Structure 1
Amino acid sequence: MSSLWGSKKDRQDGDEGVQEDHSSSGNTQGRNSRDEPTERTRLLNNPSRPPNSDGYLAPDDPAVSPYNLWSVRFLRTFTVLFLMISFLWWVLLFVSIFVSPPGLHTRGSGFFDFAYTSLTIGNLLVAIIFFAVPAKALRITLAITAGLLAIDMIIILAVPRIRLEEGWVGIASVIWAFVIGVWCVITDRVVAWGKKEEEERLTGRPETRRTLKEWLAVLLATILTVLFIIITVLMTSTLAIRARDSTLKMYGDRILVDGDKYAVHLACVGNVTDTHGNKYPTIMLEAGEDPSEYDFEHWAYAAYQNGTIDRFCYWDRPGYAWSDNAPSPHSAGMSADALSEALAKAGEEGPWILVAAGTGSIVSRIFSARHVKQVTGIMLVDPLHEDLLHRIASPTRGFYLWAWGIISPLGIERLGGALFKGRTREDRVYGRNAYQSGKYIKAQLQENLVADSLSKNEVSSSRNIQSADTPLVIISSKEKCRTDEEWERKQKDLTTLTDNLVAWEMPQAPHQVWRTLEGRSMMEKSLKKLVKAAAKANLPPIDAE
């Protein structure tokens, strides 16, 4: 009995000792867990994910993730934050293409700022979507993009004309794009390190395998970043061409207007007065759909050399040739006001004989109505009638211009012309390829947006206050009139702008009448008649005595 009792007691004492040992062991483990918490403690003690026999998790266990590290989670949070900031900036730049917010107007097109921000968003989206699948190929392509963006940043900051056109908005956009490019490289590298670190600690070795899904993700991410490299190369090349074009010398001056928001190019040729001190009338050229320097000014210079005219001036509307883009929206009346301000700052006082072509005739008619005493004659070459402004205001044309502007920073056509067709700086700034520049596209888009509203109201009002005594010449394209009956009817209506019609001529020529010998000859003869009529109309009255 005693032995039996003793053995029972011994077992009880042993059980109590074991319980005490387990209790003390559990307390020690609890204290150690509280004293030395790690990011893996919770995972290894999670009964829903039992470890292998060797104490490690399986390589395919979802708990084996770089997201376990606070540094990785920190990078992802800030990447999402940067994406939100970039998207808000992108929306603001998108709106500024159509309506310029105060302080955000740039003298350039605004399409470059938008393009850089779009590239920034693309890099951030790739970084977020493929965040947990880092790859060396992805880091290399992102690094190449960041290097190209660094070159863009240097070009914009180093070339005065580009720096002036892009302004602080463009500079901030390209710097932000560069910073985000570097950030994405660093993020991918840190995630790769975190992934390896977690695999070593939780599975005992770094994982060298990839699932099919991961390989597809790496392939897609690499394709996208290679596409970003191509886009950045094109943008960098276009910037280099712009830097080259900025060295082209211009005749005349760039004059700040509209509260110094932008500058327009104005040039004058000839003497102001004759040898007796009498003022010559100044021919004021207003080009149509192309810059004044492209053919139109050449015709005027030939007339000047022939002695038909003694003096002429020409300018570039905002966005054309050497002129900056104006804030949006921008109407024909605003262009007329910009011309008035530029002439006043240049000390040009007239009297003016206005010679305008195509869409430029809208600006000249508004200018004439607002300077009745200074304008002594008007010559319109195949002019656009206000009732036909809807043709340049169509939504389809507007969308096409916007889409063309969005891809204009790539400069595909400009680069092709420079590399394979021998296009020169003159071609790109004011010649046959001027239509490819972002500034020109922005100017065309501005005309499109308000042509059938603001501009139409302005030119219609100007018709009501136009002086009826002003000598008028209309030269219409016979080819255009033959193929467009409505155009011909409106040309006839324009001959009634004033009561003093000097001539209505219809040479066998296209819309750009001055591009044929017959058209140039008829324009020069008609201009000579207009100069004489203007001089006669402005003679002082003869004293009856």
Structure 2
Amino acid sequence: MASRSNARASGNGTRASHVGDRPYEVDSGGGDATEVTNFDDAPPMDPPQTRNDQVNATERTALLGRPAPKHARGRDAVEENAATTRPWTLKIDFVVALLLLLASGYFWSMSIAAVKSPFITHTALPPHRGSMFLPIWASFLSCVINTLSLLSFLFPHESPLLSFYTSLGSSFFALLTLILCVSVTQLRIVESVLTCVLLGLAIVSSLHAALSASLTNRYAPLLDPPEELDAEVEVGCLVSLKRVGKYTLGFFGISLPLAIGHVAILGAFILLSLDVIMRAIDASIEQPGQRWKIDPWLWQRRQFPELGRGLFQSGGREYRVHLACRGVGLDDPPYVVASPVNSSSALGRPTVRRTILVESEQGIPGAVDAEWLLRMMREGDLNSGDVETRVCFWDRPGYGFSDSSPTSSNPHIVTALTQALSVSGEMARLEPPPSLNLEDAAAPSPLARSGFILVSRGHATPITTLFASLHPRLVHSFLYLSPTAPSSVLSRAARSKFAVIPTFFTRTLPALTTELGIKRTWWALKGVGRRRRVLAREKEWVSGQIERAWVQERFEADRGVDSDGAKAWEKRRGRYPNRPTVILGGAGKAGEGQKFVDEVVGEGLRRWDTEWKGGRDGCNGGQGWEKVCREAVKELLALD
């Protein structure tokens, strides 16, 4: 042991002496010392190692003693590459989403306001004739899509794949709806430019939402807010409960609503597509009569000048009104049957032409209320010697086969009816010869053998009375079924403007759901015919057009004395003609029938059957009510 220690000491002493003699030589570690002539050529010196380093040099150690949190590493990586990969696409995407939201929000607000405002309809929106509910849904869904796109910048980790695929699906069904609206002639005419523009906006918004979901998911680390790293990890039951509550609140407050929103948008577009498909199928039904293109705005200004609104005088666009007539001269063109009324027949006697004009009850298409008269004509009960009898019925704007109108005021409806009867030639057939005494052609004249037999029911009687006041020389007689006095509707105080908010939820919103086509599709699955679906009544939630007309009619009634109908009737009530009048029903409505007789009919009352109770179906109901109606019509036809 001593010899070995001495040998080690002598070896170390020898090496030290050599190094001490040659200070510019270093030990190469495996042989003789290497001489260094320049300090720059010297190999780098290892730092001195401590004993602990020497002891632990052979032990395995982790590459990273304390790993950084995952979100911190992602943030560091993005910050390192920010100079070379600045995401301008995110900024552009955000600006585009904001612009799309502003555009869709404008169309949505204007479309809702246009349901009750003709001025907004004609000045703030592209041309349209449709129910307005499809444009409202398209713009509303575009607003929701763009809002979700903006929310993806705040919550980039919330269901990016769900948002991506539902947005693509929404764009597909919106495109399908647009193709149907363009390719089907009836839908193209009804929906016009407005619906096509808003469906195109919905397609762009959906595709942009898919792009936003992809971009925000890619650059999620940039969008995440900075988080503070806790110095110590808190543990304990209370901390765990707080964490569970935070995650639960985030799920039900953020994650679940966003997911429901994406799925609901896709479902709404699917329902809209199904409804448009059903409308395309129903559009192929054969219609009685034909649709006449009218533009009643200029006529209304001329016949009702008191309705001018100055700066806010609404313009107008043409639309189509359905008018159907049956009887003698059905297949003749208007210029043939529109000969003067004093022409002679083949027997040499003066020709007498009488047209039974039906004004249907509020919310019921004209063809439904005229069924009993058409049955009388088919059975030959309306033939009377040398009298040419025709039955005409029409659909008010938004009803049945007619296009929608921006307003349902009585003057506008009467003007539309007047123009439809004029362009179809029906009014020219009944035009009396000019007075030889050069009297005013608009003043009431003695009973003419030719003219209209006006049949009206329920809340439609104010329309009939205004029409008769506008054309007194063309009226032969009246048949009123459960009439409503004009003062009961037009003389009430206007409702408060604050009532608009509750009526939106009780009237407008239920009517808007009609355009989703749930009831129409259900009727089709049950086997309800196409004609029944087209001639749906109001509050059956099948036809969006008639539901919109109902909303407009209720809005006009709420205006009371400020409505256009009240102003027009107050101006022309003295021109109502004194003609033979038969009234059926109306005695049990709090004296409504007697009020109607006192205000309107006066001395023209010929008979009043107070026991008649037709109900909602009118003369089409059972229990012998149709027989009473037939006898009343025969009584009026027999008058000469």
Q: State the TM-score bracket (shorter-chain normalisation).
A: 0.7 to 0.9
Among 326, 330, 345, the residue aligned to 2:423: 345
Which amino acid counterpart does residue 459 of structure 1 have in structure 2?
W
| C-alpha spacing 1:53/1:291, structure 2 compared with 1 (3 Å) | closer
**Ranges of 4+ aligned residues in structure 1 off by more than 6 Å:** 52-57, 196-199, 213-216, 390-394
CA displacement, residues 369-392 of structure 1 (integer Å, 9 cap, x when unaligned): 111111111111112211222699
Partner of 1:301: 374
| C-alpha spacing 1:307/1:57, structure 2 compared with 1 (3 Å) | closer
| C-alpha spacing 1:62/1:279, structure 2 compared with 1 (3 Å) | farther
CA displacement, residues 73-103 of structure 1 (integer Å, 9 cap, x when unaligned): 2211221122122212222222211113325
Size of the aligned set, in residue pairs, is 465
Q: Secondary structure at the match of 1:84?
A: helix
Partner of 2:601: 497
Q: Secondary structure at the match of 2:601?
A: coil
CA displacement, residues 311-332 of structure 1 (integer Å, 9 cap, x when unaligned): 111111110000011123x311
CA displacement, residues 231-281 of structure 1 (integer Å, 9 cap, x when unaligned): 111111111111111111101110111266111001111115865461321
Q: Tell which deviates more after alignment, 266-275 or 405-414.
A: 266-275
Note the 1:162-181 alignment, pairs <5 A: 162-181=187-206
Partner of 2:114: 96
Which amino acid counterpart does residue 253 of structure 1 have in structure 2?
Q
CA displacement, residues 136-190 of structure 1 (integer Å, 9 cap, x when unaligned): 1221122111111111111111111111111111110011101110111112112
Among 138, 149, 164, the residue aligned to 1:116: 138
Rg larger for: 2
Partner of 1:243: 280
Aligned partners of 2:98 and 2:503: how far apart in 1? Answer: 37
- % identity of equivalent residues: 22
Note the 1:341-380 alignment, pairs <5 A: 341-349=419-427, 350=430, 351-380=451-480
Note the 1:135-534 alignment, pairs <5 A: 135-195=160-220, 212=247, 217-258=254-295, 261-272=318-329, 275-276=346-347, 278-304=351-377, 305-308=379-382, 310-328=389-407, 330-349=408-427, 350=430, 351-389=451-489, 400-419=506-525, 421-431=526-536, 436-451=542-557, 452=560, 453-468=563-578, 470-476=579-585, 481-482=587-588, 484-493=589-598, 497-506=601-610, 507-514=612-619, 515-533=621-639
Partner of 1:46: none
Which amino acid counterpart does residue 335 of structure 1 have in structure 2?
I
Aligned partners of 2:505 and 2:636: how far apart in 1? Answer: 41
Which amino acid counterpart does residue 289 of structure 1 have in structure 2?
Q
Which amino acid counterpart does residue 269 of structure 2 have in structure 1?
T
- Specify every segment of 5 or more residues in structure 1 that has no aligned partner in the other structure, as ranges: 1-51, 200-210, 536-545
How many Å apart are 1:193 and its aligned residue?
2.8
Tell me, yes or no, if the aligned pair for 2:75 and 2:222 is still in contact at 8 Å: no
| C-alpha spacing 1:57/1:441, structure 2 compared with 1 (3 Å) | closer
Which amino acid counterpart does residue 475 of structure 1 have in structure 2?
L
Q: Secondary structure at the match of 2:108?
A: helix
Partner of 1:21: none
Aligned partners of 2:169 and 2:627: how far apart in 1? Answer: 57
Aligned-residue Cα RMSD (Å) equals: 3.1
| C-alpha spacing 1:136/1:196, structure 2 compared with 1 (3 Å) | farther
| C-alpha spacing 1:192/1:376, structure 2 compared with 1 (3 Å) | same
How many Å apart are 1:113 and its aligned residue?
0.3
- Specify every segment of 5 or more residues in structure 2 that has no aligned partner in the other structure, as ranges: 1-65, 225-245, 297-316, 330-336, 338-344, 384-388, 431-450
| C-alpha spacing 1:459/1:198, structure 2 compared with 1 (3 Å) | closer
Q: Secondary structure at the match of 1:58?
A: helix
Aligned partners of 2:470 and 2:544: how far apart in 1? Answer: 31
Which amino acid counterpart does residue 457 of structure 1 have in structure 2?
K
| C-alpha spacing 1:60/1:196, structure 2 compared with 1 (3 Å) | closer
Q: Tell which deviates more after alignment, 116-125 or 63-72.
A: 63-72
Aligned partners of 1:114 and 1:490: how far apart in 2? Answer: 41
Tell me, yes or no, if the aligned pair for 2:484 and 2:593 is still in contact at 8 Å: no
CA displacement, residues 472-520 of structure 1 (integer Å, 9 cap, x when unaligned): 111115xxx44x32434435536x5142222111324325431124211
Which amino acid counterpart does residue 410 of structure 2 have in structure 1?
A
Tell me, yes or no, if the aligned pair for 2:163 and 2:209 is still in contact at 8 Å: no
| C-alpha spacing 1:77/1:62, structure 2 compared with 1 (3 Å) | farther
How many Å apart are 1:306 and its aligned residue?
3.2
Q: Provide the TM-score with structure 2 as the length reference.
A: 0.67
Aligned partners of 1:520 and 1:244: how far apart in 2? Answer: 33
